[in-house]
Amino acid sequence: MRSVSEIPSSIRGLREQYRTHQASPRKVVELALKRANSNASHNVYLARDDDWTRNELEQLLAQDPGDSEAFEKQPLWGVPVSLKDCFDLEGYITTCGSRFLGASRTPASADSSVASRLKRAGAIITGKTHLHQLAYGITGENRDFGNCLQPAHARLLTGGSSSGAAASVQEGSAMAAIGTDTGGSIRVPAALCGLAGYRCSITLSTANEFEIWRGGDHLALSFDTIGWLYRDLGDGPLLGAALFGLLHAKAPDPQGLRIGMPNASFLHDCEEEVLAALEHWASLLRSRGAQVVPFDAGIWREAMDLYAPLQANEAAALHPEPRDGFEPVIAERLRWGGSLSASELAEFRRRLTSFCQTSEQKLKDIDFVLLPCSPTAELRADENQSATRLQILRYTTPVSLLGWPAVTLPGRRGGPQLVGKLDADAELLALSAALPH
């Protein structure tokens, strides 16, 4: 049996070592637990219990050893996975990043749908991870639980709101991390931490009356999506099958694919490192035979003007007064969202419909879109990030308004997002998995 330090970073590689008895699930899980909360702020997880996690593993290992098909039927068998603390886990209080909210709740009496799906797939949940209050932020900051710092770079924020999710994968306490993405909350921390990240199509979130959200805290129902952060793009289809039941799709042949990329004027505020990462992936796609086609993304400049009020209004409906226990900036957004009149909201929704129709028409001959997740490759923990938030959201909210799926491409900080069209999740995951990385 191999030393645990040699266990591969990909879930597929770990499964092969389990299959050939070259790795021990007990040793893998113990190493994951030892790595937990290794960042300087020691707050990757807001709730964890090593004995509970060990017990979950023992229950998995106690399954009928004569059932040779069990391993194959459980694509995440023995894989450490973290869970964002906006999803219920039986016996734990779901804080959604807020002590004020957590104090009003009792421990969950049942697992959320996401946690149940993970367990059915054989995953070992390592704990519940850090997030912005209410998942309402993009930087990784949190007044109640401290700002989430990158385990690999103590002076840098992870990004958010799936901040602990990103940190758990970066530190190695999880091989995949469940997160949510409303306005960029998976894509941004993945990009800032050099990881892969996937957000699903809005239709996967809303299917069967939001069944996958059972036992989960919403921020804004019209825009909330679920996904994960991970290291190896090749694991995307496997995770898609485990969480959403997505059938493995054949990767689209890059030869002849048309990849849309916003023109230079839209990218005017991007740092050199971000542009270099964008060009790296564009060049790789070209080398595979794809056409990278610039397009005028002028209409996307108004995305934040539409997203902010519509999101705030939906969040306000979910979190009525009293709100004084939330961070002042979040309480202010909620009050603003709740103050919008019916006529104002109707106008924003009319403009949203026009935005989506115009975007879809402009991109009708495009197969996928490639653009930055963030104009900056890092967020320093000692700097005020209030202005940066708006700059980042300009790159993520167009996709959120359209409800399209996206994969953050890893390998270097500031990685871009490869965006598929609505319901092209399996094809997007297959294409990204087939790219060299």
Looking only at the bridges linking them, the beta strands covering 80-84 and 124-129 are parallel
Question: Annotated catalytic, 161?
Answer: yes
Query: CA dihedral defined by 54, 60, 63, 69, rounded to 10 degrees?
Result: -150
- Catalytic, out of 112, 113, 161, 201: 161
Q: How far is the CA of 397 from the CAs of 25, 138, 347, in angstroms? A: 40, 12, 18
First to last CA, the chain: 27
Spatial separation of the C-alpha atoms in residues 408 and 26, rounded to whole Å: 31
Among 41, 113, 168, 185, the active-site one is 185
Which residue is catalytic, options 41, 82, 84, 432?
84
Distance CA 81, CA 140 (A): 20
Amino acid at 351: R
432 assigned to active site: no
Task: Show which residues are catalytic.
Answer: 84, 161, 185
